[in-house]
Amino acid sequence: MLDRTMKRLDGTEQSLRDFAGQVLLLVNVASKCGHTPQYAKLEALYQQYKDRGFSVLGFPANNFGGQEPGSDAEIAEFCSLNYGVTFPMFSKISVKGDDIHPLYAEITSLPEPIGGEVRWNFQKYVVDRSGKVVAKFDPRTQPDDPELVQTIERCLEQSVPEGASSRG
């Protein structure tokens, strides 16, 4: 899963290998969704755990109700001005349908309960230090939900796999 290079909102390319050895929370995000205020809690979660080898990766997507119509520049400005987002945000992709991005095609093709179609904006996937998707959380699940936080903390307690970097 980490063997991909993705475009950031600023247009630079970033290898997901840069996050090898970290615990990740992958989230398909949107600026005009009822769940959009989750950005604040995602940023708080990132700030709380980033020094322990954790990162939130945001993937804007316009697959649900046209709720992410903006350009990458508009998305970056919105996230910065409204929510102070500092976690890595990537260029807008598709998370379902005929034009699904290969990253999400791989995740959604995993066996249940992890796999299956993305239900809505702000669906969350926890990736452990070895790069394996270990949990999926419903879009309505808040980033400070105790079960989600416990899952992240359990993954953070795992040792970093041999040869993996914990930078990001």
Domain-wise residue ranges, the chain:
5-157
In this structure, are residues 27 and 148 in contact, taking their beta carbons and an 8 Å threshold? no
Q: Which long-range contacts (CB under 8 A, 24 or more apart) does 158-161 make?
A: 158/23, 158/128, 158/129, 158/130, 159/129, 160/21, 160/53, 160/129, 161/20, 161/21, 161/129, 161/130
In angstroms, the CA 141 to CA 164 distance is: 30
In angstroms, the CA 88 to CA 7 distance is: 11
Taking only the tens of pLDDT, the chain with its 168 residues reads 889 999 999 999 999 999 999 999 999 999 999 999 999 999 999 999 999 999 999 999 999 999 999 999 999 999 999 999 999 999 999 999 999 999 999 999 999 999 999 999 999 999 999 999 999 999 999 999 999 999 999 999 998 766 555 444
Active-site residues, by number, are: 33
Right CATH for 5-157 from 3.90.470.20, 3.30.530.20, 3.40.30.10, 1.10.3080.10: 3.40.30.10
pTM recorded for the entire structure = 0.94
What are 36's two structure tokens?
Answer: 């959009």
Structure confidence by residue, pLDDT tens digits, 5-41:
999 999 999 999 999 999 999 999 999 999 999 999 9
In angstroms, the CA 134 to CA 147 distance is: 13
**Packed helices 72-83 and 38-49: angle between N→C axes, nearest 10 degrees:** 80
